[in-house]
Chain A
């Protein structure tokens, strides 16, 4: 399992009703249903990934998150999860508000633009970084709203949301000691648990 998914797995309370925004091939929901008796749905727009969800027996609803989540009522879920999709949204701030309207708690993971390799790339080469975490060129990337740990924490503060947990990820795992001591520079990936 992807390291951010493994961490989320540990954070999910048994029996939770979960909405996974941009659920991809449904791996996380499948594992959460199996190990945590979690129920719920994935939202996804990619037909190929939707097919994999269906093949896994994961409930998936074709819906573009960019068009809003207004069809889902307040507090419909215990937990909303969004892995590696925030940076691809038109309005991540509005998406965050919507997530915390649908559920009291959400878990969000995104690539950390302040990762040292990215800083080095931009600083030394003067060009937008291309890496394993950010594999696209600037002109064809789906990642239109890149941010750093600090940016995201500031957004949460401004909106009055509470950061309950925060973990950071490097190459092979999440929460390595170096990244804990100096998370902004050394973490490729950010994982946040937030409550309203």
Chain B
């Protein structure tokens, strides 16, 4: 299939913009009176509206998950998985991907105008939480006439959104696929996020978040934040294999770039700091830190999932040290405890946390096979599990 043919078969539609006037009450106590979400779709919604799949993005992601737009050199962030015949098969599924609130790729966020002041929201944009995002995504589903998703899928921060969907909207999701994620951040995770935030906030160009007013951007801080993040996304082995201790030229005993890994991190950091917004990075990392659905249930994760009705697939990667396989197993154990349908696989990979975005044959097969049973017919799946606690008497 040629490039154009595969684009046609993917049926990429968008980016679209949906505007919402029903106020959205946020966990932080503030209310967004009006907001907009930018999204793309791939494939075709069937007549029963039972084949919709929501793909939730991670920290640096956005609505462009698959395919190419005019002039793109690289496809969307999850193009390996979304398309005709791929693991999320657009010949069967209607896939939706959006830019979350607070994002910097078109949805309402710090770079939008605050209607109350007529200025950019900037640092005054309210703190977002994962449940806030999920509520806004449910409104988008209403807008698109989708009552129940065949599946909601996401990696990392996206996996947190998937868990939240299963908890908050149990009757609107038939299958939940949680990839390289965690039920809550560890102190170490939060520590890395805090260093990233401090890098941004201490940049002289940050101006307490009002950098646009000063006609500048805290590029240096954002670059450092991304470099730290990037280290946690790779494994030591992957970094060693890719860069080793290779030198760019001879040692010159200074602080310029000498090792290949230094060059790589600076390059990645620079790219990111030119394309991403600092305020968005701050609020997304805070949303990660805040995520802890079990908090409302005295830390009991099994009780947290008590009302969930969907079938779960939990995927981890062996060399992921940001959200280790053990963190995924916590979710699995809670779901077993709660008598939910769950499958779990730990994919052998050298790529660390980044593995969830990279091609891998087993990963693709696991997703494809699991999704071969995913359709959102209203009575689907309800026969098999969820018998409550009637086994407890044994």
Binding site for B on A (CB under 8 A): 15, 17, 33, 39, 41, 47, 50-51, 53-55, 57, 59-63, 71-73, 75-78, 103-104
| Contact residues in A for B346 (Cβ distance below 8 Å) | 62
Is B333 a contact partner of A71 (Cβ separation < 8 A)?
yes
A-B contact pairs, 17 of them (CB 8 A): A39-B385, A41-B336, A50-B366, A54-B343, A54-B370, A55-B372, A57-B372, A61-B332, A61-B336, A61-B344, A62-B346, A71-B329, A71-B333, A73-B337, A75-B392, A75-B394, A77-B391
Taking A51-B369, A59-B341, A72-B336 as given, write out 5 further A-B residue pairs in contact, using a Cβ cutoff of 8 Å, ordered by the A residue number: A39-B387, A57-B372, A61-B332, A61-B336, A104-B394
B74 contacts chain A at the CB level, 8 A cutoff: no
| Contact residues in B for A73 (Cβ distance below 8 Å) | 337
| Contact residues in B for A53 (Cβ distance below 8 Å) | 343
B373 contacts chain A at the CB level, 8 A cutoff: yes
Is A41 a contact partner of B342 (Cβ separation < 8 A)?
yes
Task: Tell me which of B333, B343, B384, B391 contacts A60 (CB under 8 A).
Answer: B343
**Cα of A75 to Cα of B344 in the assembled complex, Å:** 21
Nearest Cβ on chain B to A181's Cβ, whole angstroms: 36
**Cα of A85 to Cα of B370 in the assembled complex, Å:** 26
| Contact residues in B for A78 (Cβ distance below 8 Å) | 391, 394
Is A39 a contact partner of B345 (Cβ separation < 8 A)?
no
- When A47-B362, A54-B366, A76-B337 are in contact, do A59 and B372 touch as well, CB less than 8 Å? no
- A-B pairs with beta carbons under 8 A, tally: 59
Contact-residue bracket for chain B: 20 to 34
| Contact residues in B for A63 (Cβ distance below 8 Å) | 344
Of chain A, the residue at the smallest CB distance from B313 is A54
| Contact residues in B for A103 (Cβ distance below 8 Å) | 394
Nearest Cβ on chain B to A8's Cβ, whole angstroms: 18
| Contact residues in A for B345 (Cβ distance below 8 Å) | 47, 50, 62
**Cα of A15 to Cα of B339 in the assembled complex, Å:** 14
| Contact residues in A for B387 (Cβ distance below 8 Å) | 15, 39
Is A59 a contact partner of B342 (Cβ separation < 8 A)?
yes
**Cα of A60 to Cα of B342 in the assembled complex, Å:** 7
| Contact residues in B for A17 (Cβ distance below 8 Å) | 339, 391
| Contact residues in A for B391 (Cβ distance below 8 Å) | 17, 77-78
B365 contacts chain A at the CB level, 8 A cutoff: yes
| Contact residues in B for A57 (Cβ distance below 8 Å) | 372-373
Of chain A, the residue at the smallest CB distance from B390 is A15
The 10 closest A-B pairs by CB, nearest first: A54-B369, A55-B369, A57-B373, A61-B344, A17-B391, A62-B345, A54-B370, A71-B333, A59-B343, A60-B343
**Cα of A63 to Cα of B343 in the assembled complex, Å:** 11
Nearest Cβ on chain A to B323's Cβ, whole angstroms: 16
Most B CB atoms within 10 A — which of A50, A62, A73, A78? A62
Interface residues of B in 347-394 (CB under 8 A from A): 348, 362, 365-366, 369-370, 372-373, 384-385, 387, 391-392, 394
| Contact residues in A for B373 (Cβ distance below 8 Å) | 57
Nearest Cβ on chain B to A91's Cβ, whole angstroms: 22
**Cα of A39 to Cα of B373 in the assembled complex, Å:** 17
Nearest Cβ on chain A to B319's Cβ, whole angstroms: 15
Is B344 a contact partner of A62 (Cβ separation < 8 A)?
yes
**Cα of A37 to Cα of B387 in the assembled complex, Å:** 11
**Cα of A63 to Cα of B342 in the assembled complex, Å:** 13
Nearest Cβ on chain B to A94's Cβ, whole angstroms: 20
| Contact residues in B for A33 (Cβ distance below 8 Å) | 384
Most B CB atoms within 10 A — which of A51, A61, A78? A61
**Cα of A13 to Cα of B362 in the assembled complex, Å:** 35
| Contact residues in A for B392 (Cβ distance below 8 Å) | 75
| Contact residues in B for A55 (Cβ distance below 8 Å) | 369, 372
| Contact residues in A for B394 (Cβ distance below 8 Å) | 75, 78, 103-104
Of chain B, the residue at the smallest CB distance from A75 is B394
Of chain A, the residue at the smallest CB distance from B362 is A47
**Cα of A34 to Cα of B391 in the assembled complex, Å:** 19
Most B CB atoms within 10 A — which of A39, A59, A103? A59
Of chain B, the residue at the smallest CB distance from A77 is B391
Is A51 a contact partner of B365 (Cβ separation < 8 A)?
yes
| Contact residues in B for A41 (Cβ distance below 8 Å) | 336, 342-343
| Contact residues in B for A76 (Cβ distance below 8 Å) | 336-337
Nearest Cβ on chain B to A56's Cβ, whole angstroms: 9
| Contact residues in B for A51 (Cβ distance below 8 Å) | 362, 365-366, 369
Nearest Cβ on chain A to B280's Cβ, whole angstroms: 35
| Contact residues in A for B372 (Cβ distance below 8 Å) | 55, 57
| Contact residues in A for B348 (Cβ distance below 8 Å) | 47
Most A CB atoms within 10 A — which of B333, B342, B369? B369
